[in-house]
Amino acid sequence: MSLIYSEEQRMLADTAREFLAAKSPVAAQRRLRDERATNGFDPALWREIVDLGWTGIPFPEAVGGLEFGYKALGAVFEEMGRTLCASPMFSVVVSGALLQLAGTPEQQTAWLPALIAGDKRVALALDEGPRHDPLATTLSARREGSGYRLDGSKVFVVDGIGADAWLLAARTEGQAGDREGVSLFLVSAGTAGLSMSPQSLIDSRNHARLRLDSVLVPASALLGAEGQGFGMLDQALDRGRACLAAEMLGAAEQLFATTLDYLKTRVQFDAPIGSFQALQHRAARCYTDLCLARSAVMAALAAFDDPASDATTCGRLASLAKWKAGETAAHVSNEAVQMHGGIGVTDELDVGLFLKRIRVAQACLGDGDFHCQRYAALTELPA
């Protein structure tokens, strides 16, 4: 398992960095926030990203993908983290993976090529409370005629505004906390009884609430076997977790570089503040944490590209990466605010934009506590 990018992956990262620096600098995210962009991203930029082929990186060529692997995709997410680029890439990864893993041939044919081509957008509607917990699903799905009736609500739906369809986790049997009984449904926008409203988070991205009141869907809306959807859902979520970890790593590294530049140029008592040993020690700890986080993120991405890695191995490494990248990004962003002093808490400085995005990404698909518990559960202890 290689923990470094190959030459081709590095070339992709360099191309992504140049493109995003020119077309989606941090100032663009600030503008989207100030203009209160409805979808939380620039549609013209999104079309250029699609044309570059990034949406097809992890998917098979048979459905319009490039089959370039998750390490290559992680390199792109890193660069997106460096500029805080807002786009529906995350939903393409998670929803596309879920369709690939659990969708019927008909569902894959109808949605995967359109998703990769940017012609359709599909968002995953999963969480129902303030904390990520897939097993806590209570949205009910009951048999009615030849289809199902869905009742309940979802919150923090990433890229939910403007989506053409939503992938929903619902419970066809059992109670909250049960692994068995979780089913997956593909519900198109405009379905009677389904309502969507924007949800404001501190990173000013695209999030939504969904409410389902007696929503009737045909049996063809079901992905996989009834009541057996959790395993495939968890595998798709792990791919999203690894990509989020890569994004946080890129954001943290960029924030660290910005802070180092400030330490070298800010003068107090006739000396650059970077010459003060106390600040040097704090910067050194940030650097070592970033190195460790990179190792964890690269291991998770490589696992998805390794045919020998099973779902448990991928899940364990994805949780490790999400935890370590989240903890490191939170630490670096806190230190960046502190080391910048008073200006670090002002809106005119980009530090605050990075901090807010990192906090949301840290909580998305499970915070540190969630992944520590999950890692322990997935780790086989010796007898």
pLDDT of residue 3: 81
Strand 222-223 and strand 122-125: the pairing is unpaired
**At the topology level of CATH, where does 122-223 sit?**
Butyryl-CoA Dehydrogenase, subunit A; domain 2 (2.40.110)
Cα–Cα distance for residue pair 138/248, rounded to 1 Å: 30
Residue 308 CB partners (closer than 8 Å, separation 6+): none
Report, as ranges of residue numbers, the positions in the chain whose pLDDT lies below 50: 383
**Residue-wise pLDDT tens digits, 37-95:** 989 999 999 999 999 999 999 999 999 999 999 999 999 999 999 999 999 999 999 99
pLDDT of residue 383: 46
Q: Are 89 and 168 in contact (CB under 8 A)?
A: no
Strand 222-223 and strand 271-272: the pairing is unpaired
CB atoms within 10 A of CB 231: 14
pLDDT of residue 380: 75
- Predicted model pTM: 0.96
**At the topology level of CATH, where does 230-378 sit?**
Butyryl-CoA Dehydrogenase, subunit A; domain 3 (1.20.140)
Cα–Cα distance for residue pair 26/310, rounded to 1 Å: 38
pLDDT of residue 1: 65
Domain ranges of the chain: 7-116, 122-223, 230-378
Cα–Cα distance for residue pair 230/238, rounded to 1 Å: 12
* DSSP per position, 184-222: EEEEETT-TTEEEEE---TT---EEEEEEEEEEEEGGGE
Nearest to 207, CA basis, from 217, 215, 197: 197
Cα–Cα distance for residue pair 42/28, rounded to 1 Å: 9
**Residue-wise pLDDT tens digits, 5-37:** 999 999 999 999 999 999 999 999 999 999 999
- pLDDT more than 90, % of the chain: 96
- Specify the CATH number for 7-116; select among 1.10.760.10, 1.10.10.60, 1.10.10.10, 1.10.540.10: 1.10.540.10
